[in-house]
């Protein structure tokens, strides 16, 4: 008798906490709605965090430039590196005797000279298929190349650069030549003491990796991310900020980092002087020395 009464009471209690199919479906629907509301916010927060990490890495590079300048009479390295050459992989530090004068500077690029100063390996010492990816100091955490079929050179095999040094810096004939000198008119090293307005001059910037987003997103870019130095045509479009359109981070010559939506100016659309493909010689954001102060 006691056992029968216990079972009846237990049955009444368990039946009271059960859920009908409709109730379960309602709960699932509510959870789905909440997730649909929260996920975009979580994704935006994650992307914003990556943008902050990217800016922090650019600041690290800025400190590396400052350290190099302090140890080398105020000059900073060349914009380009051995990514533009085909060096002997067993002897990447050796400049071959057949190297043309204008290629000598590429053995003194920023991606090779700066990292060892802050306890990182120079780019030239990485083997094929083993180049640094987006989880390293070398790359922006938002760096995601599209499929290799869209590029001239395989990104996974040869590596890519999500940060590019302002290549307009090397077009200024008043900058210093590389060690050993060269008779080619394109200079290599920049004298930081002579920069007219360092808080405006671009040093490094987020480089786009999508071939379809060059020239401010209006025109395809031939081979983005292949080289460690580039022009405004290759400014990134990766970071969303505050619900605005995509943009990228920029490291300026005075060491500060700022996010910008774009750097491309409408008046540059028909401008094409040699390799410049953009800013004229007197643009204060891309050239370090005013035209009238060049020696």
Say if CB 232 and CB 279 are below 8 A apart.
yes
- Residues with Cβ within 8 Å of residue 105, at least 6 apart in sequence: 78, 80, 170, 177, 178, 182, 186, 188
Within a domain: 6: no
pLDDT the model gives residue 274: 45
**What percentage of the chain carries pLDDT values higher than 90?**
21
pLDDT surpassing 90 at residue 114? yes
Within a domain: 11: no
pLDDT the model gives residue 273: 46
pLDDT surpassing 80 at residue 266? no
Within a domain: 10: no
* Higher pLDDT pick, 228 / 267: 228
Structural domains counted in the chain: 1
Can you tell me the mean pLDDT for 120-129?
Answer: 89
pLDDT the model gives residue 226: 87
Distance CA 119, CA 122 (A): 9
Q: What domain range is 281 assigned to?
A: 21-293
Extended beta strands in 184-286, E state? 190-191, 202-206, 229-230, 248-252, 257-260
Within a domain: 164: yes
pLDDT the model gives residue 111: 94
pLDDT per residue as tens digits for the range 54-75: 999 999 999 999 998 988 888 8
State the pLDDT confidence band at 184, using cuts at 50, 70 and 90: very low
Within a domain: 181: yes
pLDDT the model gives residue 185: 42
Within a domain: 153: yes
Within a domain: 7: no
* Higher pLDDT pick, 216 / 52: 52
Look up residue 24 and give its DSSP letter.
H
Phi, psi at 76, each rounded to 5°: -115, 160
Can you tell me the mean pLDDT for 18-29?
Answer: 73
Helix (H) or strand (E) holding 163: strand 163-166
């Amino acid at each position: 008798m006691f056992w029968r009464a216990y079972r009846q009471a237990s049955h009444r209690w368990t039946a009271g906490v059960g859920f009908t199919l409709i109730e379960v479906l309602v709960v699932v629907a509510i959870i789905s709605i909440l997730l649909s509301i929260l996920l975009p916010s979580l994704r935006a927060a994650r992307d914003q965090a990556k943008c902050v990490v990217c800016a922090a890495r650019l600041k690290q590079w800025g400190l590396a430039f400052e350290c190099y300048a302090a140890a080398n009479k105020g000059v900073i390295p060349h914009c380009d590196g051995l990514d533009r050459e085909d060096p002997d992989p067993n002897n990447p530090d050796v400049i071959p005797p057949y190297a043309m004068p204008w290629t000598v500077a590429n053995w003194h690029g920023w991606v090779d000279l700066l990292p060892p100063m802050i306890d990182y390996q120079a780019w030239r010492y990485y083997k094929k298929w083993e180049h640094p990816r987006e989880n390293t100091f070398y790359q922006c955490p938002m760096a995601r190349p599209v499929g290799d079929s869209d590029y001239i050179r395989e990104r996974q095999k040869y590596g890519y650069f999500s940060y590019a040094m302002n290549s307009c810096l090397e077009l200024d004939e008043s900058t210093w030549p590389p060690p050993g000198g060269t008779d080619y008119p394109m200079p290599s090293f920049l004298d930081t003491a002579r920069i007219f307005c360092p808080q405006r001059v671009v040093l490094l910037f987020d480089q786009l990796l999508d071939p379809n987003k060059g020239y401010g997103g209006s025109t395809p870019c031939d081979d983005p991310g292949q080289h460690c130095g580039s022009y405004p045509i290759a400014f990134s479009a990766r970071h969303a900020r505050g619900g605005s359109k995509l943009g990228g981070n920029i490291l300026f010559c005075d060491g500060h980092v700022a996010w910008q939506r774009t750097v491309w100016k409408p008046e540059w659309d028909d401008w094409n002087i040699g390799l410049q493909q953009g800013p004229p010689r007197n643009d204060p954001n891309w050239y370090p020395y005013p035209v009238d102060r060049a020696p």
